[in-house]
Amino acid sequence: PFDVLVVGGGPAGASAAIYTARKGIRTGIIAERFGGQIMDTMSIENFISVKSTEGPKLAASLEEHVKDYDIDVMNLQRAKRLEKKDLIEIELENGAVLKSKAVILSTGARWRNVGVPGEAEFKNKGVAYCPHCDGPLFAGKKVAVIGGGNSGIEAAIDLAGIVEHVTVLEFNPELKADSVLQDRLYSLPNVTVLMNVQTKEITGTDKVNGITYVERDTEEEKHIELAGVFVQIGLVPNTDWLGETVERTRMGEIVVDNRGATNIPGLFAAGDCTNTPYKQIIISMGSGANAALGAFDYLIRN
């Protein structure tokens, strides 16, 4: 059996595996796609100490760093079941069952898509999901935010301080965000809020140049010119496969304590799949290291 099995090969998992391997304990890492979300990211400018890089480049150096250690990397393998017996068992999609004294879950999350024409086509070419990451790319330009929940309104307030103008598009007749956020939003001079509207298409040529939406009560179609669209309709953790035994929030995020421990002894979690409030590369790496040290501490006591 493994001492530590890491499920997920993004920034959190890579960091966790390197930290446990450096303790000289037997470490394995299972990844459906090594690199995780950064494989879909073009420019990264907030990975501190690296002024600017690209996702696939950062993923390649993560992999190089992991391979520098005696870590059993099982790439292109998907975990489908977890069971705590004497050891923790992880069953893979291919039927193999791996056993480990401790497991660190780092399966990340995915942004919910609006699923309109132009969204996939213009990803990284004006369509963005993370205001902390991509907000500055739109300095002085006009953008839209799709989604009027807390994350959408937080994004709109954040972006309003950087860009020329923000249009918020909400499908329902009212915003769902907390009223303090709404008050703050409505106090800003460069924000327009459109409610009861359905996004129809994100338009562009080589990059985004506008958005088309339908007013749901009049069925009138309208177009606005802008340079960027932030989709903020939810971040879904990749935790459905865990079943009922691992404690999760209403949103599906794994609940962890300050050592990355879950409700199951020997089971730890890190990164975007957990209830950490902010989802970023640097934060995921820190939490991977933290969970690895938590798991090591668990192993020397059990």
Q: How many helices (H) and strands (E) does the chain have?
A: 6, 19
User: Which residue in 36, 126, 147, 149 binds ligand FAD (CB under 6 A)?
Assistant: 36
Report whether 11 belongs to an annotated binding site.
Answer: yes
Assess 182 for contact with ligand FAD (CB under 6 A): no
What does the block give as tokens for 229?
A: 């669209």
Site string for ligand FAD, 225-254 (x = CB under 6 A): -------------x--x-------------
Q: How far apart are CA 229 and CA 211, in angstroms?
A: 8
Distance of CA 81 to CAs 31, 85, 96, 102, 242, Å? Answer: 14, 13, 11, 15, 6
Q: Which stretch binds ligand FAD (CB under 6 A): 39-47, 62-70, 188-196, 293-301?
A: 39-47
Q: Please report, as residue ranges, which positions from 110 to 129 form the binding site for ligand FAD (by CB under 6 A).
A: 111, 129
Which position among 6, 8, 17, 126 is part of the footprint of ligand FAD (CB under 6 A)?
Answer: 8
Applying CB under 6 A, does 44 fall inside the site for ligand FAD? yes
Q: Which is nearer to ligand FAD, 101 or 279 (CB)?
A: 279
CB-nearer residue toward ligand FAD: 167 or 284: 284
**Among 16, 84, 25, 92, which residue's Cα sits nearest to residue 263?**
84
User: Which residues face 84 on adjacent strands?
Assistant: 88
> Residue 102 annotated as binding?
no
Q: What is the chain's alpha carbon radius of gyration, rounded to the nearest angstrom? A: 21
Per-residue b or e along 42-60, where b marks 16 or more CB atoms closer than 10 Å to that residue's CB: eebebbeeeeebebeebbe
* Strand ordering across the sheet containing 221-225: 197-204, 208-215, 221-225
Determine the interface stretch with ligand FAD among 37-45, 226-234, 250-258, 292-300 (rule: CB under 6 A). 37-45
Q: Does 30 interact with ligand FAD (rule: CB under 6 A)?
A: yes
Which range, of 41-49, 114-122, 201-209, 290-298, touches ligand FAD by CB under 6 A? 41-49
Q: Which amino acid is at 142?
A: K
37 binds ligand FAD (CB under 6 A): yes
- Which residues carry out catalysis? 130, 133-134
The CA distance from 76 to 298, in Å, is: 29
Establish if 151 lies at the interface with ligand FAD (CB under 6 A).
no
Residues that bind ligand FAD (CB under 6 A): 7-13, 30-34, 36-38, 40-41, 44, 46, 78-79, 106-109, 111, 129-130, 133, 238, 241, 271-272, 279-282, 284
